[in-house]
Structure 1
């Protein structure tokens, strides 16, 4: 099994499929990237994909396609993408082991690049 940059929960895959289904016949999936902004320094960005970029990594689950911007890969390695609905908000959430902190409102985060040597040791230990 190939290593995936991020994993999707069933809820995230279901939401991606709903977005694509409501966005017309040329919608293919979504793209996750990281942009500078917010009080903590970085923000997750989720955009509709109509024309996939061949440089992006692609993750699929239950028919849902998510592309990852190459410049975000080191910040997203090991991340689980979920979709949550609460009383006050709904949206994609990211459980990211590379996140050091978040601002009080939760809109921006501080991320560090993944430790590739540590990831390799973990894969070896898991027999991957």
Structure 2
């Protein structure tokens, strides 16, 4: 397992950067699920699907898998499996509130095209 700890952005293109707002919202949700934020975290992964070929997935996990990359930023642990890391390295995870489009969004510099709704992508 590789672990990287950072408080803000980084220049490592293999890392995932998490904004402070995204970390705060994810921690709030993890705690509302009764999980321990010292061990649990947000899993960011890529899966086949969507009109552009690939889509992002997120879920809360109790702990990382042995081969996961673990990024800790603003008190949030983010777990990324090796296959997904190839697609999301260098990305920024943001949380945007509001009446429309509230939720987590991945800004990924590796994307060459996205579908019209922004839910799937191709690298």
1:22 aligns with one of 32, 41, 62: 32
Query: Contact between 1:32 and 1:44, CA under 8 Å: does it hold in 2?
Result: yes
* Maintained 8 Å contact 2:35/2:62: no
Give the match for residue 16 of structure 2.
Answer: 6
What secondary structure sits across from 1:30 in the alignment?
A: strand
- Which structure: greater helix fraction? 1
Gap runs ≥5 in structure 2: 5-11
Distance 2:46 2:100 in 1: 24
* 1:73 paired to 2:85: yes
Task: Tell me the TM-score normalized by structure 1.
Answer: 0.79
Match in the other structure for 2:7: none
Which residue does the alignment assign to 2:102? 90
Structure whose CA Rg is larger: 1
| Larger relative contact order, structure 1 or 2 (CA cutoff 8 Å, min sep 6) | 2
- The CA deviation string for residues 56-98 of structure 1, in whole angstroms up to 9 with x for no partner, is 0011112111101111111111111111113212111111110
**TM-score w.r.t. length of structure 2:** 0.82
Runs of 4+ in structure 1 over 3 Å off? none
